[in-house]
Each structure stands twice: as structure tokens, then as C-alpha cells.
Structure 1
């Protein structure tokens, strides 16, 4: 995608002005950072803007408009090197304007994405754009547009990726006058991909010693272990790359969550045929969801089938075979109470009692025949 090359060119031209480093986990206070490397098919990742500080020595919001961008390049859904871009203006970042600076903290830059192996490349940065032309309105449009690409079900909105990348490239074109003010460029294979903080500071190593930097409660500090203070006086941004195995957004994966909810509704009504059909739909969606790791494409069907069998037992429905007309009528008035409140149990809760992610990944891909066995 053209936006990747355009931003990289800006980064290469200006990186000599930056202090740029991964922060040592031993110098992070207030949040545990697991230094273990990512495992393909097991881990998810997402990128956060932990802290951004802009000094008003530059006339931000008057002469220049700040915008934070990110571009992730990864293997996704059988598409190697797919680029997923995002850009946010200050309103989308909910930046706080004080008497002396502009601050934004803990803003999500990417949706939850699976690491499927290969190389993960990350660009992120602060763009400075002229504030006295059409760019303000154009930037807001791109920012609103890019919010759609932050959806957990990212595969449903991938058609937006290319036009968004072209819009970011236009911001950086010579006519538009945009430039990279601060930037991060990382490329990681599995052995080097791990949870970390990445700092970029608009300063030279002579002005800020890299070995004086700390992260305290997701803010960049300078000093030593016994005497440190928040970094001020220099524009800077602090990114947090987070690795994890357990998603926290299951109910927003509609292709799975909606048929799962329909299954519970049908069971509550005693309609086993409709419940079984919804279960099959949820399992099939999980098996082909590119948003899931290989481990979760095995664990989710396992969890759904387990919940289905438990629900049949709670309602005293037979686990196999079809219900006769009289049996169907006997359960058709059920309101779901026999499920013990199960209709309120989200997908995330179901995964607490199934095979751990690393073990599931070792078992390999799950076939549709295997996933539907016993239903």
C-alpha cells in the first residue's frame, strides 16, 4: 500500500532528530511486562498510544494540526503482508489541552489481531499538518472513516483499508504539506515480538539520555530509580505493544456471538432443532474467522459444544435424536430459567474452562467434520 512507503520515507528523513527506544521491562513501573516472545497461532496483539505530550512551543491547533497514525502489516486471513491503517485527529484521541501542552493517554490504535507467524511490521507516528487549509476537514473525515477499521470483526471492513491508506498518503504529499513529527518503525519476527513500550522523543541523545528513561503508570519519566519525574519540555509519544492469549471482546465478534445468542434463545424455547442449527452456524463462523488464532479456532467450537450439552441437560432435553411433537410442546414454553442464567453468559466466560491456548495450538487445525462431531 502506498501509505506504508510514504510514511517510511518521512521516517527515514527525520529519524536522526528522535530519541527512539524499546524501554527495558525492568524500567517499567505500575504494569507487568512479560518479556516472553510471541507464539504464532497462540497470541493476539494490539497497539496503544500510552502517552502523547505536545508542547505548545509549537502553535498546535492553530498553525499545525496533530494527527496520530498507525499502519500494521501482517499475515491475516490467508493474505500475507496485509496493511491495516488508522489515523486519528485530536478529537478522536480525546486530547487534553492544558495551559502549556496537549496530552493524550491510553488510546487504542489497533483492534485485537492474531499473530499467525511471519513478520509483523508496525508504523506509528505523529503527523503535523498545516492548519489553515482544507486539511482540517479532510483529516476529520479520514479519522471518522478509520474508526470503522478498529472494529473487532475487522475482516468485515477490510475493503476500507486501501482507500484509507490512499488518504493518508495524500496528507503526506508535497502539496498538502504534511510531515512526520515523531515516528516509530518496527519489524518483528516471532522471536523478537513481545510485549513492550516504545518511546519516541523529539530530541537528540545529547538532550535526553536514553538510559535515564522510565515508564511509570503508562507515562514517560526521566531520572533514576529513587529520583524521577515526568518528562517535559520535549514532544514525545509512548506506545505500548500488548501480547495476550485471551480476548476481551468476544461479544463484539458478531458472526459468532449472534448465532450463539440465538442458540440460547432457542434452547430456552425448547426448540432443539433451531438451537442445533444456530450452534452449527456459530461453530462454522469460528472455524473461518480470521480474527481468531489457530488455538481459538479449536477452543471456541469446543466451548460452544460444551455449553450446548450443559444446556440440554439443564432443560432435560435428550442429547441425541430429534424431539417428538409431544416433547417439543412440553418445552416450548420455557423461558430460559432452567439454564441457570446461562443466557447472560458471554462467549469469553465459556473459554475459561476449555483447553488452554498453547495446548490447543499444539493439537493443530480443527476440521469442520471434527468440530461438528456429536451434534
Structure 2
């Protein structure tokens, strides 16, 4: 039986003198009064995500809402040795690193604009082709530089910088675009110190210094400002989740290499909880970058690989993926091992961080998975 609660309804009573008074009458109505508006249900979002991840050897995700952890999930295993799936287990976040790189670059936006040329910010000792020197920050950050390729070693970066661009400057995803910031962020931060290091260190030592300085600055500006501990681009011994395959193939898995000298377009080793803190701070606060810079980031998708319509607005996301051949065939096939990662900010102050510890014969459509789960999580009470 519903309890009747008195509610006052008021109406204006007008007198000929033009004086407005208020007359109130008390009615008995059932409370609470319900709205026709839909509300977001974390428990539905979680359930739908779990349904979409069936088949994975293991996964972990963290949902945040209004700046707080709303729910977490960890299922299955994280390694062939039986390490459990864990939101605090470490994983190579792969291309999610690009969002960290982009936000770090935007920290220094007061010193340049996204339409400025990158030439002056590359090491002066490198041979620079005019095609590369005349590229803009925006072209790198949006994968519209004309650069192709995925190898991000220092020798590859130097070769690319010294070579002409033959491909059109249309969108083409390339890890090199973001790995080049490993050589530029240290100079954006402190050009005097970089010039000194470039003069006094050997070429190999200078490249190692740029790698460590890039990692230090991403930590200082992004990871540690979100309350995390210092992280790197190398596996954490005994605590890093593996790349694995999925049933019915016989269980197989392996770790990944040290990415310290390759980081930028991929390679940071974080926990899923670390990723959650980062996407939540980016969405909810101005600790990293100002509201204007966040708008710039969203408008041009600087550091986002995808944006798509969802209930109530747009989602902005970046996913990552690694895999290792196990059957000698090109591309991902049954029996290969790998992982997938994702960070996404959604409307209504909802954020999500995901890592999946295995792959099947094709990559999961992880953006569609999130979109469908999120849309299904809005219901009328």
C-alpha cells in the first residue's frame, strides 16, 4: 500500500488592484513522483559488458560515474601460470598510450599551436627532410601526416624524419605519428636541457635520455597526477598479465618485451585501475588540461581513435591491441595470442577502462560492445 504524502499545489490569485497573492491548497498524492526520464544503471552496464566478453580467458574493467568508482569486474585468468584476472594486474596498454601522449603534448600548447610545424621541435642533430619538418602537430595527432608504418624504434624514427613522404596526407593510422613525440616532448618541456644533452651525450645515450625523459614527463603530467604510482614501459615482474588465446584452442600465452625504447604510440604498462583513474581525471577535472584544451582535443580527435553517438551525446575513446603470431599466418588467426585495451568517456559523467587478456580469430568490436551496453543501460525507473 502506498503512503499518501501531503503536497502543496499553489496558484496565483489576481485582484483587480493588480496585487498578486498566492493561494495554496493541500492535496494527498503518492510519493515519490516519478519522471518519464531515463536513468543510467551501472548494474545493467556491467552485466551487458560481461555478456559481451564471454569467451575471453580473462578480462578486467572499471566503471566510474560522477568521479567515483561505481563498479569493477575481473573474470578468469591473466596468464598461463594461473595468475588471476585482476584490475590491479599490469598490462601493456598498447595504443591507449597515444591518449597519454596527446594529453602530455597539449600540456605544452601555450608554447605552440596545433597548426605549428614540428621541425623546430625535433632534435637538431637529426637529418630532417622538408616533408617531415613542415608537418604540423595536428597532422601527427590526427594520423594525417602521410607517414606509414608501425615500427617505432629510434632507427626507424630517424629514417622517417630524414625521408620524403610519398603517401597522401589522408587519415592512415600509424604508430610512428605518436612515437615521434618521444623525441619532441622533452624539448617542449625544456629546450635548453635537451640541447645540452644533445651536445654532451653520445647519440645512443641521447636517445636513451629522450626515452626516459618522455616516460618521466608522462608520469609527472598524467599518471601521478591521477594518484597513481610511477609507471614505465617494461613488464612488472610477476605482476604483468599475458597475451593469450581463447578456447577451444589449447591454452597458450606469453608476455611482451620491454618497450622503454619504443614507447609513444604504445607501450606503457599500467593496471586497469590506472587507466580508469586517467580517463576519469581527464573527463572530470582540469588537472591535466583546461576545458578549452579538452574541447580542442574532442573537436579534432587529438588522441582519440574513435568518437561515436551514444544515448545522450558522444563517446570519445581509444583502444589498443597487441598480438603474437603462433601459426605462421599473416594477421590474427585462431591460435594466435594477444590482448585488447580501451578507455572511453561517455555522456552523463560515465567512464570506462577495459583490458581483455586474450584474442580469438578476429578482434573484438570493442567500441560497438561498449556502445550497445551503454545504450541498454538507460531505463525508466
Please give the range of the TM-score, normalised by the shorter of the 2 chains.
under 0.3
Higher helix share: 1
Q: TM-score, normalised by structure 1?
A: 0.22
Q: TM-score, normalised by structure 2?
A: 0.22
